[in-house]
Chains A and B, each alone.
Chain A
Amino acid sequence: MSKTSFRGCVGFMALVASASVLVVRAQQPVVEHSPTAEQIEFFEGRVRPVLAEKCFQCHSSRTSTPFGGLRLDSRQGLLTGGDSGPAVVPGQSADSAIVQRVQGRPVLMPPTGRLDDDEITALIQWVDMGVPWPVATASDDVPDPSAPFDLPQRKQQHWAWQPVQVAEPPTANDSSWSGTAVDRFIHAALEQQSLTPAPAADPRALIRRLSFDLRGLPPTPAEVARFVSDASPEAYVDLVDRYLASPRFGERWARHWMDLFRYSESHGSEGDPDIPLAWRYRDYLIRAFNADVSYDQLIREHLAGDLLPAPRLNSDLQLNESVIGTGHFRLVEHGYQPVDPWEDRVKWTDNQVDVVSKAFMGLTVSCARCHDHKFDAISQKDYYSLFGTLYGARPTQRAIDAPSVLTKNKEELASLKKQVRAKLADVWVNSTTATNEALLEQARVTIEPESETFNSTGIRSDGTLVEALRELGQASDFTATWNELQRYWETEVETRQAFNNEHFDVAWDLSGFDYEATVGHGVGRPDVPSAPGEFSIERRGDLLLGGIYPGGAYTHLLSTKHGGVIQTPRFQIDTDHISLRVLGGDLSFAQLIIENYAVPRGGIYHLRYSPKADRMTWAQWDTTFWKGFTAYIEFATQEDVTRFQFDSEDTSLTNRPTRRGDGRSFIGASQVVFHETDETPRDTVLPVLHMFEGAIPTSLDELTRQLSGQLKGVVEAWRDGRLSEQQAVFLDEFVRADLLPRRLEDLVGLRSLVAEYRLLERDVPVARRAPGVVEESAPDQPLLVRGSHKNLGDVVPRGYLTAVSNERYPDPGQVRLHLAEAVTAADNPLTSRVAVNRIWRHLFGYGLVRTVDNFGRLGDSPSHPELLDYLADGFVNDNYSVKRLIRRLVLTKTYQLSSSVSPESTEIDPLNRFLQHANLRRLDAEAIRDAVLSISGRLDTTMYGPSVPVHYAARRGLTEGDPDNGPVDGDGRRSIYQEIRRNAHNPFLEVFDLPKPATTRGQRDATNVPAQSLALLNSPFVIGQAAEWGQRLAAGEATSVDNRITHMFLKALTREPTDEELTRVTEYVRAVATDHETSPDLLMYGAHVWQDVAHSLFNLKEFIFIP
């Protein structure tokens, strides 16, 4: 980068700065201004340095109140002038105030001392030239950012918004270039520039290029031999097809895609917590590219894979692929337990908007977060339309199995359970007579003085029947005690009711209509809440069931392997406390999720509760600190918990959660209440109340008989599914107190049914999970004034960019589906152009639009606009097949050109925009590492699965000897399977420009730094692989030194050595052999010798550069 080019960008930046910092002035008519390159050079070389050094300190955007209101850091500033009028009159230096001032009229400027004479002369010359000032952008006619925002006008003025127009490919005068439409476009442009295309690439160069482009690996010697012996067009087509069909293809092209979605397996910031199972998204991409899933389908799955009415199912793996596509929304960076989680949310939602808009539309929509876009037809409202559209996507873990897997045996289990219930009801109805005796027995149990009947506050505890019977059983005067009890409980229930009414607002009754408003997913999540009376069949042991549940929403009514997520609607926290009535076990969680913050944290942040009982209890959170923020409450089974934690008590594994147990977990909930008091609601539905419903008994015996009779009616109601809440607690007490049989030893008639049920239940698979989202049906969101999360403006209807589509999305719940439709609409001019341009870039080194992530005004203009549109149109008509597009492109003559540059090309088109020759390219990081492994013989082509940990990364004080440290050779797995963590980069890949996972990166750097040389010379990875190769060679067939060298060249460089090289390598081999004291007759077996040769070959520039 030269200093001149670096300085050139200044004008633009000054404009940007001025727009945000400066006092707005009345618009002046813009003086015509089209400087030549020479004039700009003059300005940059002679004038700007003077202005910068001598004037800007007082007269520029660096001070918010420039002296005299005058700014000299933009042309407009000079023209507009300050308090004393314009600073320049273009073309008239004598009348220009700036020239007068530097000559001391009426005062001398700058006040620090007179300018040198040649500086004054330059200033005069420059004004007389017409005040040339650079317009520093790739596109022409960049709008003045201070002009009023006019979206239709901006749309009209910029090529990228215009419809794709299909032109007939030009006819090539040279018949050898008429083969493909692409070649005809390219050749016509070359002819227009009077450029002669380079000759075709040598077959070896071609196969090497093709192999790396399509598979990211070097061709094998066998492939090379075969192709070189027959480099006919048919052989080439055959090669292309074989490479496209190789599983390695997906591993190569998925990684390109991952660059667009800032793929990472951790959230960064303090602690760098895991994004659990992020690798599922990587595997999904590899499968998708190998299966050539159409590009528009990938977009739909990325934007709304969870909402598609007909998701794409993978029949081999029994997966719902579509739902995994939304995983990219989860790959955001999170702050560490942010004190202002709303601010954090605005940041990561902004990142989602940024990534989605860059990746699919090639636009910097995120620039419009604080103001209308400075240059493009994107309003600030557009930004918040998109922001709102993505806002409702809550982070979650999704089950990704095909529905048929998830619902395996579900119907059968439901039907069996129905039978169990009916039979059990029969048994119970028949055993109610026996119950009478059992009740009397209970009444005979003596209450200990220190019994649990009275708790510390003097209130009788649970209101169970058994307690009451025992009290009555001991009573000297039955009627008196009975009356006392009745009085006590009537008063007590009234008091409790009053207390509850006074202190608690029921936010959601999840056993009733409120349930409809919840959000969630998972096969265990019920469609409707259960009426009172549900139960769960124990999966093993003698107990058939634990008890009878009250009304509520439960995930495990058929199996504890059914995962489920139930989330409340979003609400603003405005009470000191929240309580929930919940049951569950096996690390299920109820959690308060504030502003969708999806990272496990401790302390005040982590308001959560892990129920450990099969009966409802109240849990309570202190929410004082979070008043004012929005949140929702999640009830979820272990592996579906959004903020997964290994164990609530174990904080050492906070950031690296792993699954525990056998995948079973369950949760149920019935109520959420908001309150200020630090108590929880008191139960008012109690079994004992049943006692007072019948006729007034006069003896214990009469009472128990009466209760037995009631029980019979209750069981019948249960059997018929018309149990009330009061009856449910009554029945539950009988069951849990074993007053009704619930053991299989006592339920002979149910044994085979239950056994069958348990067998089927055992066969229910545990779902696989991946990071994803669930839609909350949020309303439209407000615009943030000047992008500030603290300054909420008017609500903006959700929708897409108005420059492309005016449709708004009023119906909640489906907004991302609408967005997916808009992005993939056939008449969307951006999507297909951006897509084909990205694919072109990976095959030719640069896009037809070189700024692959920016098709806006500040981006590059297409070098071949008609070709771009031709390809975009063809791509759409070819059902967005990526593989077929790649095939079309690599079969062109253009792709097969050699990289030899003609002198004319250097002269006319030094950047090779017209593709006179192939661009020389450096292999990217993964290809270098994978090539080393492939050549050494260490490459393990195992696909998919959890990533290999990073070797010796500075993660949590990791040292080389740490058992958590990854293997030096990454287990020989391809680079795409190496772990990507935000805070611990793979040192080898990083040095070769693996992008940091922050935002869309469609064009990687290919830097040239000494650290790369050091890595190839000295890194344990390269040395280890050289040793690996050396050992394989030494253990292999001992032919001759020449043959071995030739073999090594073929493997590493895809070619044989020249005679001259052979001589030089042989000389080197001898020298190295001497170093290692290897005798000539043992030379072929000297692993160290061949390791040295291998090591040196890895260090050749030809190894990492593809001509």
Chain B
Amino acid sequence: MSYDPTQHPGPIPFLTRREMLRQTSTGFGWLALSALMADKAYAGVSQSLAEGPLAPKAPDFAPKVKNVIFCYMSGGLSHIDSFDPKPRLAAEAGQPMPFQTERTMFNQDGNILPSPWEFTNYGQSGIPVSALFPHVGSIADELTVIRSMTAPFMEHAQANFYFHCGMPFTGFPSMGAWITYGLGSDNQNLPGFVVLGSGGIPLGGVNVFGNGFLPAIHQGSLIYPEHALPLHNVQPSESDASQRGRLSFINDLDDGFLEQTNGHAQVEAAIDNYEIAYRMQTAVPELVDLAGETEATKTLYGLDSPNASTVAYGRQCLVARRLIERGVRFVELTMVGTDGMGQAANPWDQHTKLEEGHTANARTVDQPVAGLVKDLKSRGLLDETLVVFSGEFGRTPFVQGTNGRDHNPMGFSLWLAGGGLKKGFIYGQTDEYGYRVVENAHTVRDLHATVLHLLGLDYTELTYRFGGRDFRLTDVDGHPIRGILA
């Protein structure tokens, strides 16, 4: 009774939805109907009619949030330079670490390196944020900062897979895939799990957004907000009139085949996909077209910044808001490289030149991501959205080489903003050097369980049978971080 991919949905003996549509549309014609459904006034009709694999599903219990925006700081943002101040590092600058440390990636471990940035206590909550993130500081009272994250993987690709899929290698579904599998999406004209691809793909490649063993509909679709072709194959090569003529022709011939197969559900679904595909051709370009946004909004997101990477990331943040406004379930943003072109896979990876690199990266994301939270709040969307801001691990308190930091997965920070959380709240603690977690340690799987929980999904029940086993995102050991729940 679990979902079993080997059990195909056989022919349906009763009146199919399609036949019903055809009959009730009184000869109005399929394309006319689909055009009608594309109209916003009929959007509700269109969505309730779509019984596809992405049709919205009820959560297990009352959700706190409906959608997720995941800002991935690929490469490993240094927690001790951003959200976890450690005065002791300044006091013991240049001295050796007082205890034995773990093996690092590059084995060029030096002495204690204090943070080059001052911390300021922001807002009523007084959450300290470093000078890297003044804009994020200004939304401190919206944040839930977790300073006690851990990951068992030291290298990027494994940690990226783990952060996305709960496993350190390919073959497993990404968080966004699990969530659309569990909840579907509220918009059938756009993918349910969107990755905004103007930044770099994290190391490990596109598989980190993969569907793993889940049906392919759940994999992250890369949408390039700045690209002439924002989604693969979404641009028709012909005029709308020609394409309508083509679709009408195809549909007429398909009808005969559908009849021949006794209205086989798979054939019918394949026919229906052309309706959705047709609508996606309009929905996607409309999505990335920011002409309708006010100047004030654009400024809020940093789109007027002289810095190209800030503009690129700002556009991602703004498109992310537009996506969740349209009911898309899960949006992931990719980290843009400092040149603004963003092909770098792991911009935060400052093994050298920490100060230079982190300054540039923070400048890229600080204003846009803070603008996103503010904009969501002012539109009343923040309560039903979860914003996750994290890298795959943190960085060492001791120097690598002369001016870098190596990877540190034994303790790092992330922040969340959105519904269902204690706001202006700091949770968990690392030791005085920011090296290991000493209080409320949580794994990334706990974060996954938390995200599912906030979405109203029972994380133990969101399972899929594959290769003889029921899998779940949190495997057998992730649990919601209850200490941060409001």
Residues of chain B contacted by A498 (CB below 8 angstroms): none
Query: Which listed residue (B5, B11, B233) contacts A1018, Cβ 8 A?
Result: B233
Task: Select A339's contact among B103, B200, B203, B479, beta carbons within 8 Å.
Answer: B103
With CB as the reference atom, state the residue of chain A lying closest to B108. A604
- A1023/B237 contact (C-beta < 8 A), A136-B1, A903-B13 known: yes
- B465 and A9 contacting across the interface, CB-CB below 8 Å: yes
Q: Given contacts A900-B262, A906-B13, are A12 and B2 in contact (CB under 8 A)?
A: yes
CB-CB contacts below 8 Å: B424-480 with A:
449, 458-461, 463-465, 467-470, 472, 476-477, 479-480
A308: Cβ under 8 A from any B Cβ = no
Binding site for B on A (CB under 8 A): 1, 3, 5-10, 12-14, 16-17, 20-21, 40, 49, 52-53, 56, 60-64, 73, 134, 136, 138, 268-272, 333, 335-340, 347, 358, 363-364, 367, 603-604, 625, 846, 850-851, 853-854, 856, 858-860, 899-901, 903, 906-907, 910-912, 919-920, 922, 954-955, 957, 982-985, 987, 990-991, 993, 996-1000, 1003, 1005-1015, 1017-1019, 1023, 1058, 1060-1061, 1064-1065, 1068, 1071-1072, 1075, 1092, 1095-1096, 1099-1102, 1104-1105, 1107
B233 to A1017, Cβ gap below 8 A? Answer: yes
Docked CA distance A6–B464 (Å): 8
- If A336-B156, A1010-B277 touch, whether A1096 touches B203 (CB-CB below 8 Å) is no
B134 contacts the other chain (Cβ, under 8 Å)? no
Q: Please name the residue on chain B nearest to A1067 by beta carbon.
A: B249
User: In the complex, A1095 Cα to B201 Cα: how many Å?
Assistant: 33
A-B contacts counted at CB < 8 A amount to: 311
* A861 CA to B245 CA, complexed, in Å: 49
Q: Within the complex, what minimum Cβ distance (angstroms) separates B177 from chain A? A: 12
In the complex, besides A16-B476, A347-B168, A1010-B280, 4 extra interface pairs with C-beta distance below 8 angstroms are A5-B1, A911-B8, A920-B264, A1009-B273
Q: Which residue of A lies closest to B256 (CB)?
A: A1061
- List B contacts of A14 (CB < 8 A): 460-461
A347 to B442, CA, bound (A): 24
Cβ B261 vs Cβ A1005 within 8 A = no
Alpha-carbon separation in the docked complex, A8 to B462 (Å): 10
* CB of B165 to closest CB in A, whole Å: 11
Q: Is B141 an interface residue (CB 8 A)?
A: no
Look across to chain B and name the residue whose beta carbon is closest to the beta carbon of A1098: B250
Cβ of B17 < 8 Å from any Cβ of A? Answer: no
Q: Complex Cα distance A278/B392, Å? A: 32
Answer whether residue B484 sits at the interface, using C-beta atoms and an 8 A cutoff: no
Partner of B212, one of A910, A996, A1013: A996
- Between-chain CB contacts (< 8 Å), 23 pairs: A1-B3, A10-B458, A13-B470, A21-B476, A62-B479, A138-B4, A339-B105, A347-B168, A347-B169, A363-B468, A625-B103, A850-B7, A1006-B266, A1007-B53, A1011-B277, A1013-B274, A1013-B277, A1014-B233, A1014-B234, A1017-B243, A1018-B235, A1064-B249, A1105-B270
A1101 and B460 contact, CB distance less than 8 A: no
How distant is the Cα of A768 from the Cα of B262 in the complex, in angstroms? 54
Contacts A358-B467, A1105-B257 known; A136 to B2 CB distance under 8 Å?
yes
Flag whether B23 is at the interface (Cβ < 8 A): no
Complex partner residue of B261 from A10, A73, A268, A920, CB under 8 angstroms: A920
A991 contacts across to B, CB distance below 8 A:
216
Q: Which residues of B contact A1 (CB under 8 A)?
A: 3, 53
Q: Would you call A268 and B266 a contact (CB within 8 A)?
A: no
Q: Does B232 contact A (CB under 8 A)?
A: yes
Cα distance A1102–B449 in the bound complex, in angstroms: 43
Cβ of B168 to closest chain A Cβ, rounded Å: 7
Shortest 6 CB-CB contacts between residues of A and residues of B: A9-B2, A998-B171, A983-B205, A8-B1, A1013-B277, A364-B468
**In the complex with contacts A269-B158, A954-B206, A1018-B237, A134-B1 CB distance below 8 A:** yes
A1099 to B278, CA, bound (A): 13
B1-29 interface (Cβ within 8 A of A): 1-8, 10-11, 13
Q: Kindly identify which residue among B170, B257, B464 contacts A982, using a CB–CB cutoff of 8 Å.
A: B170
Task: With A270-B155, A954-B205, A1101-B257 as known contacts, state yes or no: A13 contacts B467, CB within 8 Å.
Answer: no
Q: Which residues of A contact B235 (CB under 8 A)?
A: 1018
Closest to B104 in A: A339
B2: nearest residue on chain A (CB-CB)?
A9
CA–CA, A854 and B479, complex, Å: 30
A1013 touches B273 (CB 8 A): yes
Which residues of the other chain, B, contact A999 by a CB distance below 8 angstroms?
A: 171, 467
- In the bound assembly, the distance between CA atoms of A983 and B345 in angstroms comes to 13
Instruction: Output the nearest chain A residue to B264 by Cβ-Cβ distance.
Output: A920
Q: Give the residue among A17, A339, A901, A1075 with the most B Cβ atoms within 10 A.
A: A339
Minimum CB–CB distance for A58 against chain B, Å: 11
Stretch at the interface among B54-62, B93-101, B316-324, B355-363: B54-62
Residue of B nearest to A1008 (CB): B269
When the two chains form the complex, which single residue of A3, A61, A984, A1105 contacts B57, counting CB atoms closer than 8 Å?
A3
Q: Which of A268, A1007, A1100 contacts B216 (CB 8 A)?
A: A1007
Contact B264 A1100 (CB under 8 A): no
Is the pair A625, B233 in contact by a Cβ cutoff of 8 Å? no
- Asked whether, in the complex, the Cβ of B476 is within 8 Å of the Cβ of A20, the reply is yes
Q: How far is the CA of A987 from the CA of B169 in the complex (A)?
A: 21
Q: Does B276 contact A (CB under 8 A)?
A: yes
> Counting CB contacts under 8 A, is B154 at the interface?
yes
| Residue B215 CB within 8 A of the other chain | yes
Q: Which residues from B are CB-within-8-Å of A912?
A: 10
A892 to B193, CA, bound (A): 45
Residues of B140-193 whose CB lies within 8 A of A: 154-158, 168-171
B88: interface (CB < 8 Å): no
Contact A920 B266 (CB under 8 A): yes
Partner of B470 from the list A9, A62, A987, A1019 (CB cut-off 8 Å) is A9
- Given A134-B1, A999-B171, A1095-B246, A1010:B276 Cβ within 8 A: yes
Q: How far, in whole Å, are A1107 and B261 apart by their CA atoms in the complex?
A: 7
Among B58, B222, B249, B267, chain A packs the most CB atoms within 10 A around the CB of B249
Shortest CB-to-CB span from A323 to chain B, Å, is 28
B103, B212, B476, most chain A CB atoms within 10 A: B476
Contact of A62 with B468 in the complex, beta carbons under 8 Å:
no
Known interface pairs A52-B60, A1008-B266, A1012-B270; A268-B205 also in contact (CB < 8 Å): yes
Cα–Cα distance between A16 and B449 once the two chains are bound (Å): 17
> How long is the Cα–Cα vector from A272 to B470 in the complex, in angstroms?
29
Which residue from B53, B58, B217, B463 sits with its C-beta under 8 Å from A13? Answer: B463
Chain B contacts of A1023 at CB under 8 A? 237
Bound: A63/B446 CA distance, A: 12
Give which listed residue, A63, A270, A954, A990, contacts B204 with CB less than 8 A. Answer: A270
A993–B250 contact, CB under 8 A?
A: no
Residue numbers in A under 8 Å from B169 (CB-CB):
268-269, 333, 335, 347, 998
Q: Is the CB of B205 within 8 A of A272?
A: yes
Give the chain B neighbours of A1009 by CB distance below 8 A. 53, 215-217, 273
Residues of B within 8 A of A268 (CB): 157, 169-170, 204-205, 207
In the bound complex, residues from chain B placing their C-beta under 8 Å from that of A906 are 10-11, 13
- A912 CA / B477 CA spacing, docked (Å): 39
Instruction: Give every chain B residue within 8 A of A997 (Cβ-Cβ).
Output: 170
Q: Let me know if A911 and B7 touch, CB within 8 A.
A: yes
Q: Is B287 an interface residue (CB 8 A)?
A: no
Closest to A332 in B: B169
Tell me the smallest distance from the CB of A629 to a CB of chain B, in Å. Answer: 11
The answer to whether B258 has its CB under 8 Å from any CB of chain A is yes
- Asked if B470 contacts A1014 (CB within 8 A), the reply is no
Evaluate contact between A1018 and B234: CB separation under 8 angstroms: yes
Q: A906-B10, A1011-B221 are in contact. Are A604 and B106 (CB under 8 A)?
A: yes
Question: In the complex, how many angstroms separate the beta carbon of B486 from the nearest chain A beta carbon?
Answer: 15
CB distance from A990 to the nearest CB of B (A): 8
Q: Please determine whether B467 and A854 come into contact, CB atoms closer than 8 angstroms.
A: yes
Given contacts A996-B210, A1012-B270, A1105-B261, contact A9 B155 (CB under 8 A): no
How would residues 255 to 299 of chain B score, 1 for a CB under 8 Å from any chain A CB and 0 otherwise?
011101110101101110110110011000000000000000000
Q: Is B44 part of the contact surface with A, judged by Cβ < 8 Å?
A: no
